Amino acid sequence: MAFSSMRGRRAVLTWILGSLAACSGTAVFSASGPEAPPDVATGRRLYLASCAGCHGVRGDASGEVAASLFPPPRDLTRGEFRFRSTASGTLPTRDDLARTIALGLPGSAMPGWGDVLNDSEIGSIVLFVETLSLRFAAEARRPEDVLLPADLTPLAATPELVARGAVLYQKMGCGECHGPQGRGDGQAAATARNSDGTPSHVFDFTYGVYKGGDTARDIYRTFVTGLDGAPMPAFDQSLPDQTDRWALVAYVQSLGRPRGLAFYLTERPTWREPMAAARPRSPQPLPVAAPVAAPAADAPRADGW
């Protein structure tokens, strides 16, 4: 099952990061007990040890390994967050940020920290992340911006509900980006860009590894609130009916294929395909007798990959 292998990979990554930190003599995961209230100084210390290598000391995505990651680490100074329970264009709640930090964004380089940091430590990091963007000081968070009630109860995915979702998928234009079969290859996918100018990789539902979480509630949240900074719109206004929303959840979940080791060894996740297309692996064969010029170095890509 994809979820368990993601957890496995996350655990390995977390272990590697932890070992690297241990080698350099930095006390990363430590000190404050579970009862200690979150505080921004602890958050800063943990951020510098655990996050700055990717997100940069100032949060501007300039960490040492940032240039080698695709998708790149988020520039946290922009104050624009994809995974929120709040309306499009508004700040995420503290719980939203804590969830991202605890669970990570599966399918990207962003690791989950829930196994190595306790709730108080994650809460401290949230407080520090809020100092990296001026938006958190400038904008008030309003309770009415939270679009999701705490007690969201998914409807059972009956064949009728899935069929209703298939109709809505067409009607709401999901396929224009996500493709007619949900493979992430809709007509708008090739040119999709994020608000920071990086190429956007439209999600492939058959891949089934969701950054925002793969439960019915997670998927509901994703398309109701939209992913700010990515071309993925919010459908809270255009899809008000609860049954319709759960129907769409059931339909896109039905597109996921079971993933085993064979998938990871033989198939490329579709978010890699545009890169493969941009940098062909085998150059065109040259005639043997012709003088062969030294191969031109790969031109650097605008996105730094």
Chain positions contacting ligand HEC, by CB under 6 A:
50-51, 53-55, 69, 71, 73-74, 81-83, 97, 100-101, 105, 108-111, 113, 125, 129, 172-174, 176-178, 188, 192, 200, 202-203, 210-212, 219, 222-223, 227, 230-233, 235, 248, 252
**Taking the CB of residue 276, how many other CB atoms lie within 10 A of it?**
10
CB nearer to ligand HEC: pick between 42 and 50: 50
What minimum distance in Å lies between the beta carbon of 299 and ligand HEC?
24
What minimum distance in Å lies between the beta carbon of 144 and ligand HEC?
20
- Residue 193: helix, strand or coil by DSSP? strand
Question: From residue 121, how far is each of 14, 28, 39, 118, 239 by CA, in Å?
Answer: 16, 11, 8, 5, 37
CB nearer to ligand HEC: pick between 6 and 227: 227
**Taking the CB of residue 112, how many other CB atoms lie within 10 A of it?**
21
CB nearer to ligand HEC: pick between 90 and 100: 100
CB nearer to ligand HEC: pick between 22 and 286: 22
Return d(Cα 227, Cα 218) in angstroms, integer.
12
CB nearer to ligand HEC: pick between 87 and 177: 177
What minimum distance in Å lies between the beta carbon of 126 and ligand HEC?
8
What minimum distance in Å lies between the beta carbon of 220 and ligand HEC?
9
- As a three-state string, the secondary structure of 231-296 is CCCCCCCCCCCHHHHHHHHHHHHHCCCCCCHHHHHHCCCHHHHHHHHHCCCCCCCCCCCCCCCCCC
Instruction: Please report the sign of the dihedral spanned by the C-alpha atoms of residue 105, residue 111, residue 117, residue 121.
Output: negative
- Residue 179: helix, strand or coil by DSSP? coil
CB nearer to ligand HEC: pick between 148 and 188: 188
What minimum distance in Å lies between the beta carbon of 175 and ligand HEC?
8
CB nearer to ligand HEC: pick between 36 and 49: 49
1 CB contacts (<8 Å, ≥6 apart)?
258, 259
What minimum distance in Å lies between the beta carbon of 139 and ligand HEC?
16
Question: Which residue shows structure tokens 């969701």?
Answer: 210
At 248, list the tokens.
């769409």
CB nearer to ligand HEC: pick between 203 and 246: 203
What minimum distance in Å lies between the beta carbon of 14 and ligand HEC?
10
What minimum distance in Å lies between the beta carbon of 61 and ligand HEC?
8
Bridge partner residues of 60 (DSSP): none
- Compute the 3-state secondary structure of the chain and give helix, strand, coil in percent, each to the nearest 5: 40, 0, 55
Return d(Cα 72, Cα 108) in angstroms, integer.
9
